[in-house]
Amino acid sequence: MHAKTDSEVTSLAASSPTRSPPRRPLYYVQSPSRDSHDGEKTATTSFHSTPVLSPVASPPHSRQSSSTRFSKKDHSHSLKPWKQIDVIEEEGLLQGDDRRNGLSRRCYFLAFIVGFLLLFSLFSLILWGASRPMKPKISVKSIKFDDLRVQAGSDGTGVTTDMITMNSTLKFTYRNTGTFFGVHVTATPVELYYSDIVIASGDMKKFYQSRRSQRLVSVAVMGNKIPLYGSGASLSSTTGMPTVPVPLNLKFVLRSRAYVLGKLVKPKYYKTIKCSITLDPKKLTSPVSLKKSCTYD
């Protein structure tokens, strides 16, 4: 063989096409993370066995950036579910705390309402129980007949019969024994009966009696030309004045109502008063004592 001259080499190089080395796949070899001599040899071998990159290949910094991107993406993908789970758990805990707080507030409110109602009911019951023994005391004093006449007449249908006219005044005392409440007092009509016939009646004016106080009540009881029919035969006379004692009965109901705690606690007291009266025509216009002639039911 003979040596080629520089001109021949140049001509051959110009005539033959330029061949670039074949592209090889890029790969990375990760050496084991240990400090043994075998690891150093493996790393050295791997380093030397790595092919030389052609100029077309990407520069080292691009590989590092792509690796960094991949690692960041992987890291973000790996962290995102954990962050979502943490947020969900935190929201669940906050919602659970809100529910517990709302439930506790409702429980406290209901407990306060129930406790207040129980205490108020107990207080009202105590007041009601304390007011029961404090019943009012009524004492009928007397009745005075100012006028009494029996004369012949006729009723609304024209039936002839004896007619009686009477004018009287009843007096009684009312005492409120309550120590911390007043009472409102009303009554049914005060009626006078002769042989089951109402011959006179009167209405008591309602009044208010303050605590631990009393008053004297007067009621006008009157009747004008009340027909007696057959029962008036013993009362008739030529003078129009009965000559014999006249038995009468008096009856009325006294009603008392106390407002201990507004309209919530309002005890009521009822007294039915019945009195037996003997009218003596000779003692007309003189008060008739009824202290021992009445019953109180």
What's the whole-model pTM score? 0.58
Of 187-201, 258-272, 276-290, the least confident = 258-272
Based on the fold, state whether residues 155 and 83 are members of the same structural domain: no
- Residue that has been written with the tokens 């074949």 in this structure: 22
5 falls within a domain:
no
Q: What is the mean pLDDT of residues 86-103?
A: 61
- Residue that has been written with the tokens 């609304």 in this structure: 156
Based on the fold, state whether residues 184 and 227 are members of the same structural domain: yes
252 phi and psi, to 5 degrees? -165, 165
Based on the fold, state whether residues 260 and 290 are members of the same structural domain: yes
Based on the fold, state whether residues 109 and 186 are members of the same structural domain: no
Q: Tell me the per-residue pLDDT of 29-52, one tens digit each, with 9 for 90 and over.
A: 555 544 444 444 444 444 444 444
Based on the fold, state whether residues 142 and 283 are members of the same structural domain: yes
In the prediction, which pLDDT does 253 show?
97
207 falls within a domain:
yes
Based on the fold, state whether residues 119 and 150 are members of the same structural domain: no
To 5 degrees, how large is the angle CA 243–CA 248–CA 252? Answer: 155
Based on the fold, state whether residues 102 and 232 are members of the same structural domain: no
In the prediction, which pLDDT does 169 show?
97
User: 106 falls in which pLDDT band (50, 70, 90)?
Assistant: confident
Based on the fold, state whether residues 78 and 175 are members of the same structural domain: no
273 falls within a domain:
yes
Query: For the chain, what is the domain count?
Result: 2
Q: What is the span of the domain harbouring residue 142?
A: 135-296
In the prediction, which pLDDT does 5 show?
46
In the prediction, which pLDDT does 92 show?
58
Strands 294-296 and 207-209: unpaired
284 falls within a domain:
yes
Dmax over CA atoms of the chain, in Å, equals 197
34 falls within a domain:
no
Based on the fold, state whether residues 169 and 234 are members of the same structural domain: yes
Q: Tell me the per-residue pLDDT of 234-266, one tens digit each, with 9 for 90 and over.
A: 888 888 888 889 999 999 999 999 887 767 778
